[in-house]
Copies of this chain bind each other. A is one copy, B any other.
């Protein structure tokens, strides 16, 4: 039956060499979304699958005068020499706690089916302070991986504090480990102020990421690309915010959610 559950629709099943998955979904500062979106663009990665979920907001967007269903998108990039990449970006994450587990579970199953054994998710680490040289944190699921990460310019200590990573970035790595995928989260330090997109932190993450996966992309166009993404992402966030508010504050008919920009 269609869309009782989260569903991934693939156009092809690419044969990939020991692929690493890079996940950049919307989140704090949209650091992951920008960083992986930029890689998709610069590497001219090929889209091969889409994920739809009944746990996404129940509306379609009108973008460029065309109807667009909320989705996440899978791309792949065949490396001329090193490991191939699977890149996951998207319009949104689910608004539903249980949905986070379902969406993450479906993604992990799909990645495993493509022979993927390693996953890197990218997010933001909100500090409440503006910084010019944002740090990058790398948090793994096992001590061995944590040791490997120390050779890059990242922080692997979170000052002994217990923190959390909410949503797909955290669950994909956390649940991945239980499913036989190794991985870690790369978090760009960001103020957490409502600036929507933080290209500086995204760049800091990309600098590290390139070394980790041994690729080299031109970062000079990043700021310009971010501007282009900014409006779409901002509008999308505003709409979801409003919808969330209406859904939770209650006392509204579902029809009140129906409007057009």
| A→B interface (CB under 8 Å) | 1-5, 9, 26-28, 50, 52-69, 93-102, 104-106, 108-109, 123-126, 137, 139-143, 146, 156-167, 169-171, 173-175, 177-179, 184-185, 187, 192, 232, 235-237, 239-241, 243-245, 247-255, 257-261
Instruction: Determine if A67 and B185 form an interchain contact, defined as CB atoms under 8 angstroms apart.
Output: yes
Number of copies: 4
Tell me whether B62 and A259 are in contact (CB under 8 A).
Answer: no
Across the A-B interface, the 4 shortest Cβ-Cβ residue pairs: A248-B250, A163-B261, A58-B100, A54-B101
B59:A170 contact, CB within 8 angstroms: yes
Contacts A66-B143, A166-B257, A174-B68 given; indicate if A3 touches B158 (C-beta within 8 A).
Answer: no
Q: Are A166 and B3 in contact (CB under 8 A)?
A: no
Please name all residues of chain B whose beta carbon is closer than 8 Å to the beta carbon of A157 when the two chains form the complex.
65
Q: Report whether A261 and B185 are in contact in the complex, using a CB–CB cutoff of 8 Å.
A: no
Can you name 6 A-B pairs with beta carbons within 8 Å? A58-B98, A58-B99, A58-B167, A68-B174, A69-B175, A163-B260
By the criterion CB–CB under 8 Å, are B69 and A178 in contact? yes
A141 partner residues in chain B, CB cutoff 8 A: 66-67
Chain B residues within an 8 Å CB radius of A258: 27-28, 123-124, 126, 165-167, 169
Q: Which residue of B lies closest to A162 (CB)?
A: B235
Closest Cβ–Cβ distance, residue A230 to chain B (whole Å): 12
Chain B residues near A61: list those with CB within 8 A.
162-164
- Report A182 CB to chain B, min CB distance, Å: 11
Which residues of B have CB within 8 Å of A69? 171, 174-175, 177-178
B residues less than 8 Å from A50 (CB atoms): 178
Determine how close the nearest CB of chain B comes to the CB of A105; give it in whole angstroms. 4
By the criterion CB–CB under 8 Å, are A28 and B59 in contact? no
Asked whether A55 lies within 8 Å of B255 as measured between CB atoms, the reply is no
- Beta-carbon contact of A167 and B235 below 8 Å: no
Q: Known pairs A2-B105, A54-B105, A61-B163; list 15 more (Cβ under 8 Å).
A: A1-B109, A3-B102, A3-B104, A50-B178, A52-B175, A52-B178, A56-B101, A57-B97, A59-B167, A60-B174, A64-B160, A66-B139, A125-B260, A162-B239, A164-B239
Check B1–A5 contact: CB distance below 8 A: yes
Which residues from chain B contact A64 at a C-beta distance below 8 Å?
160
A127 to chain B, nearest CB (A): 9
Question: A166-B254, A255-B26 are contacts. A175–B3 as well, Cβ < 8 Å?
Answer: yes
The CA-CA distance from A68 to B131 in the complex, in Å, is 28
